[in-house]
Amino acid sequence: MNQAAVTSNLDSEMELLRFTTAGSVDDGKSTLIGRLMYDTKTIFEDQLEAVERVSRNRGDGHVDLALLTDGLRAEREQGITIDVAYRYFATPKRKFIIADTPGHIQYTRNMVTGASTANLAIILVDARKGVVEQTCRHSFIASLLRIQHVVVCVNKMDLVEWSQEVFDRIVKDYKDFASRLDIPQMTFIPISALLGDNVVEKSTNMPWYQGSTLLYNLESVYIGSDANHVDARFPVQWVIRPHSQEWHDFRGYSGRVAGGVFKPGDEVVALPSGFEAKIKTVQTADGQVEEAFHPMSVTITLDRELISAVAICLVKARNQPHVSQEVDCMLCWFSEKKPLTQGAKYIVRHTTREVKAVVRELQYKVDVNTLHKEEGVSELKLNEIGRVHLRVSAPLFYDSYRRNRITGSLILVDPFTNETVAAGMIR
């Protein structure tokens, strides 16, 4: 790692970008991750020597960077774990967490999991193969999970003579089908993960490409607006109510801001009672603050005591979430043991709450490869995605997932096995 550069940045809080990587087998995902780590000097000499030695022993003409991420490959081959693995690297500009989702059988489930916390998705396309079914599936998941930025890396450009024509055709094909999706920002980069072209260093083989390298994109893409700073939402996690004499009247509502801004003096409404009050103070562990927004964890005090402190969410009078026992959502099914069926009962976990739920209707399931909607289905199996209507035992305070990833997401838990069986995005 470039020490001078890194240490010079140590005083400031470095921004963190989380991204996922997706591609079909052999598209070059491991090589690309290895290349990013290698070229950003996250890989140290001893590791590198080991990799060079193995590559040499195998008689490879080049260093096989995929070996750097080989732990997962070995597992995959033994069929041990098919899951999400997290990797870390940093440049002087940003810190990065990669949610790497290898494996195939549970791929949708894993990718949904990785995508749920990602700012950006890298989708790999093999230049020789172009846009394939898997590309479609990965893009659909990125869009469903509302990943704001998708970077399509057209890999193995060295195998198509660095051809602009090939690249342009793939970009066009991708855009054609992505027009049916909802991806706010798309970027296309022709690369060779193996040789490093346009990954960290600009390619000299493709002078026709005017854009920036992948790393430059990762370092500079604007992620400040990924959180919702408009609709004030404060799901209360804990009510602080000291029993001491000194603090007898203190009531603090603690939690993490899920959207919007909260300031002392703001008029707020407590759900579900509808009780109105004014914010007296906003406090953190370091004392009072002027305002709170996502992702701050704070304690809010009010100018009067709420009559009922059960299940509260603080919001603003003129901008309220849906308050309802009916929830219409897209569900991705995670359980291999039992499918989702109509009439089945689950526990819903939403923001800071847990309520019971029953499946009222399975409206359709989506073929993730073709985006085709299949109606009249009776169950959702592992890795399947469908539109489901739930009825819950107490009103939830929610927004659509499009509007707010926090107040619009939920998980389903099996009440008997306690297994997490589904992830839901509220419509």
Partner 1 sequence: MHVDTGHNFEETIEFRDRYVRDLDARLVVASVQESIHKGRVVEEKGPNASRNALQTVTLLDAIEEHGFDAAIGGARRDEEKARAKERFFSHRDDFGQWDPKNQRPELWNLFNGRMNPGEHFRVFPLSNWTEMDVWMYIQREKIVLPEIYFSHEREVIRRAGTLLALTDFITVQEGEAVERLRVRFRTIGDATCTGAVESEAWTLEEVIAEVAAGAADGTWNPGG
Ligand X SMILES: Nc1nc2c(ncn2[C@@H]2O[C@H](COP(=O)(O)OP(=O)(O)O)[C@@H](O)[C@H]2O)c(=O)[nH]1
Q: Among 174, 57, 182, which Cα is nearest to 124's?
A: 174
Binding window for partner 1 (CB under 8 A); candidates: 88-96, 275-283, 300-308, 359-367: 88-96
Binder of residue 388, out of partner 1, ligand X, none (CB less than 5 to 8 A by kind)? none
Please state whether the peptide bond connecting residue 272 to the residue before it is cis, i.e. omega within 30 degrees of 0.
Answer: yes
> What does the DSSP 8-state code read for residue 232?
-
What type of residue sits at position 192? S
37: contact with partner 1 by CB under 8 A:
yes
Q: How far is the CB of 82 from ligand X (least distance, A)?
A: 13
21, 30, 69, 217: which one binds partner 1 (CB under 8 A): 69
Q: Pick the piece of the chain touching partner 1 (CB under 8 A) from 4-12, 238-246, 266-274, 365-373.
A: 4-12
Residues 254-273 that bind partner 1 (CB under 8 A): 256
Q: Which does 193 bind (CB under 5 to 8 A by kind): ligand X, partner 1, none?
A: ligand X
Residues 311, 57: Cα–Cα separation, whole Å: 62
d(CA 22, CA 427): 25
Instruction: Give the nearest distance from C-beta 104 to ligand X in angstroms.
Output: 10
CA dihedral angle for residue 339, residue 340, residue 345, residue 349, rounded to 10 degrees: 100
Instruction: Check residue 117 for interaction with partner 1 (CB under 8 A).
Output: yes
Cβ-contact 140, 179 below 8 angstroms: no
By a kind-dependent CB cut-off of 5 to 8 A, residue 333 interacts, out of partner 1, ligand X, none, with none
Residues that bind ligand X (CB under 6 A): 23, 25-31, 66, 155-156, 158-159, 192-194
- Contact partner, 347, from ligand X, partner 1, none, Cβ < 5-8 Å per class: partner 1
Rounded to whole angstroms, the Cα distance separating 191 from 65 reads 15
* Token pair listed for 148: 């704001």
Query: In terms of DSSP bridges, do strands 252-256 and 275-284 run parallel, antiparallel, or are they unpaired?
Result: unpaired
Q: From the CB of residue 156, how many other CB atoms can be counted at a distance below 10 Å?
A: 22
Residues contacting residue 261 through CB under 8 Å, at least 6 positions apart: 229, 232, 291, 292, 293
Which of ligand X, partner 1, none has residue 192 at its interface (CB below 5 to 8 Å by kind)? Answer: ligand X
Q: Does 156 bind partner 1 (CB under 8 A)?
A: no
> Nearer Cβ to ligand X, position 18 or 29?
29
Q: Considering only residues 20, 108, 113, 139, which one is a binding residue for partner 1 as defined by CB under 8 A?
A: 113
Q: Are 173 and 184 in contact (CB under 8 A)?
A: no
Give the footprint of partner 1 on this chain (CB under 8 A).
Answer: 1, 3, 6-7, 10, 37, 42-47, 68-69, 71-72, 80-81, 83-90, 95, 97-98, 109-110, 112-113, 116-117, 256, 334, 347, 349-350, 405-406, 409-411, 413, 418-420, 423
